[in-house]
A and B are shown apart, each in its own frame.
Chain A
Amino acid sequence: MPPHDSEERKPPGDDERPIDVTTETLVADRSLGTVPVGWDADMAVTALYSAHYRSLVRLAVLLVRDVASAEEVVQDAFVALHGAWRRLRDTDKALAYLRQSVVNRSRSVLRHRAVVEKYAPKGLPDAPSAENGAIGELERSAVIEALRGLPTRQREALVLRYYGDLSEAEIAHAMGISKGAVKSHTARGMAALRMALEQFS
């Protein structure tokens, strides 16, 4: 069943998968529906998809800068969650697992892309469209470009903090580093971003 057919969340039956309902939920939104203990992996995947798929895709887009790759990353994360659901059995753990999986797979995508771009012929840079002529758009483009110029860890820390509104501990878990490293990456990233934006202005 296509996910846009129904907009209401129905309780899943015993012999059928729960109906998909996509709702807008930010990564750090704590108003997540708790998954009952008796749910199997299919039901949990459907519920988590409804609550977090879009926000996770957007998070991945900010990391990999490509919608198609971001969707593939998030879909892979959900498939991995389905296999790991037996040991997770918890919504909070599942969400942390999804975030960490998205971050790790985004790193893999960027690593692969760096190798491809290293040996592929370089094309012309994208020209700004007419819509980007507005001042706000210029500022936004400048910020995004400055963010893309940061190292991967710094960019991840900034995106998880300023887009996902995650705490230090959550960022540290998602990135697989310590809290001190999170602070360090965030401070360095902000300093580099400030310097780039000052040069732009």
Chain B
Amino acid sequence: MTFPPDDEYGELLRRTLRAEADSVVPSPDGLEIIRRRIDHRGLRGLRGLLWWRIGAAAAGAVLTAGAVVALVPDLREQVGQQTGILDVRNEHKDEPTTSSVSRPPNVAPSRPEVVVPIAPSPSRARPAPSPTHRAGVTTRPSPSPSDPCVTPASEPGVIEPDTPLPPTCSPTSVTQPPAVTPTASPRPPTARPTTARPTTAAPTATTQAPTPTETFTPNSATESPAS
């Protein structure tokens, strides 16, 4: 002990502390209380350990299931289709990029359409600026003047005979007012099969316009002058 020797206050303090401490008598059941607390803490520790083990087992099971699903391809696809994750990913792939900020991906299949001249030319230094752009222009649907479905505006004074319409025309173009029909019949025009229910046939005919063989036009079949 490296303390300096006690002075009179140190000795006074020592005597006082001893006397004060001797007046304290602890309760006799201290050890029982300690043992009870130890047992209680042990039970609580076991309970905590049990919950920790249950949680660890559940986490391990989930981890194992995830690893199996990720490693087996068939199972992965099946789970992806069931949960919809795979479909969403495919939809995102097919969706064209319309954003002006993001750059569209480099499409390799558009390359074969570009005809590269073999002979050296000054234009060779510059590659084709945008072959994909040309392809986009050609593939864009646009109304052409030779479209047979386009009905020219009929002059009000000209009465045309029943000319066979192109098979690709929609029945809407066939519907004419009964007043301009040269063969005025007492029957109302709605009774004729040619003009029967034009509104119902219109949507189906317009959607099937590019396929003339599948379009049935009764007007052309019955009133065709060529037959």
- Is B91's beta carbon under 8 Å from chain A? no
Q: Are A62 and B26 in contact (CB under 8 A)?
A: no
- Is A109's beta carbon under 8 Å from chain B? no
Q: How large is the interface on A (under 10, 10 to 19, 20 to 34, 35 or more residues)?
A: 35 or more
9 contacts between A and B (CB under 8 A): A3-B32, A55-B21, A57-B26, A70-B24, A79-B34, A140-B19, A140-B20, A143-B12, A190-B13
Residues of A contacting B16 in the complex (Cβ-Cβ under 8 angstroms)? 139-140, 143-144
Q: How large is the interface on B (under 10, 10 to 19, 20 to 34, 35 or more residues)?
A: 20 to 34
Give 9 new A-B contacts, CB below 8 A, not counting A42-B38, A82-B34, A143-B16.
A2-B28, A3-B30, A49-B31, A55-B21, A57-B30, A74-B30, A75-B34, A143-B12, A190-B10
Q: Which residue of B lies closest to A4 (CB)?
A: B28
Q: How far is the CA of A161 from the CA of B32 in the complex (A)?
A: 31
Write the A172-193 contact mask toward B (1 if CB under 8 angstroms, else 0): 0000000000000010001001
- Is A97's beta carbon under 8 Å from chain B? no
Q: How far is the CA of A59 from the CA of B26 in the complex (A)?
A: 12
Q: How far is the CB of B78 from chain A (nearest CB, A)?
A: 51
Q: Which residue of B lies closest to A57 (CB)?
A: B26
Q: Which residue of B lies closest to A167 (CB)?
A: B1
Q: Are A3 and B29 in contact (CB under 8 A)?
A: yes
Q: How far is the CB of B39 from chain A (nearest CB, A)?
A: 10
Q: Which residue of A lies closest to B33 (CB)?
A: A75
Q: Which residue of B lies closest to A191 (CB)?
A: B9
Q: Are B28 and A186 in contact (CB under 8 A)?
A: no
Q: How far is the CB of B190 from chain A (nearest CB, A)?
A: 96
Q: How far is the CA of A3 from the CA of B29 in the complex (A)?
A: 7
Q: Are B30 and A162 in contact (CB under 8 A)?
A: no
Q: Are A67 and B24 in contact (CB under 8 A)?
A: yes
Q: In the complex, which of the residues B6, B27, B31 has the most CB atoms of chain A within 10 Å of its own CB atom? A: B31
Residues of A contacting B33 in the complex (Cβ-Cβ under 8 angstroms)? 75
Q: If A59-B21, A61-B24 touch, does A49 touch B30 (CB 8 Å cutoff)?
A: yes
Q: How far is the CA of A17 from the CA of B36 in the complex (A)?
A: 13
Q: How far is the CB of B24 from chain A (nearest CB, A)?
A: 5
Q: How far is the CA of A162 from the CA of B18 in the complex (A)?
A: 9
Residues of B contacting A53 in the complex (Cβ-Cβ under 8 angstroms)? 26, 30-31
- Is A103's beta carbon under 8 Å from chain B? no
A residues contacting B by CB (< 8 A) are 2-4, 17, 20, 22, 42, 45-46, 49, 53-55, 57-59, 61-62, 67, 70-71, 74-76, 78-79, 82-83, 139-140, 143-144, 147, 158-159, 161-163, 167-168, 186, 190, 193-194, 197
In the complex, chain B residues 32-90 whose Cβ is within 8 Å of any chain A Cβ:
32-35, 37-38, 41
Q: Which residue of A lies closest to B45 (CB)?
A: A83
Q: How far is the CA of A32 from the CA of B65 in the complex (A)?
A: 58
- Is B17's beta carbon under 8 Å from chain A? yes
Q: In the complex, which of the residues A79, A158, A159 has the most CB atoms of chain B within 10 Å of its own CB atom? A: A79
Q: How far is the CA of A162 from the CA of B12 in the complex (A)?
A: 10
Q: How far is the CA of A75 from the CA of B21 in the complex (A)?
A: 18
Q: If A139-B16, A197-B9 touch, does A57 touch B41 (CB 8 Å cutoff)?
A: no
Residues of A contacting B144 in the complex (Cβ-Cβ under 8 angstroms)? none
- Is B102's beta carbon under 8 Å from chain A? no
Q: How far is the CA of A69 from the CA of B214 in the complex (A)?
A: 100
Q: How far is the CB of A193 from chain B (nearest CB, A)?
A: 6
Of B3, B6, B9, B31, the contact of A193 (CB 8 Å cutoff):
B9
Q: How far is the CA of A59 from the CA of B41 in the complex (A)?
A: 26
Residues of B contacting A62 in the complex (Cβ-Cβ under 8 angstroms)? 17, 20-21
Q: How far is the CB of A93 from chain B (nearest CB, A)?
A: 19
Q: How far is the CB of B21 from chain A (nearest CB, A)?
A: 4
Q: How far is the CA of A76 from the CA of B41 in the complex (A)?
A: 11
Residues of A contacting B20 in the complex (Cβ-Cβ under 8 angstroms)? 61-62, 140, 144
* Pairs A-B, 5 closest by C-beta atoms: A58-B21, A163-B17, A143-B16, A57-B26, A162-B14
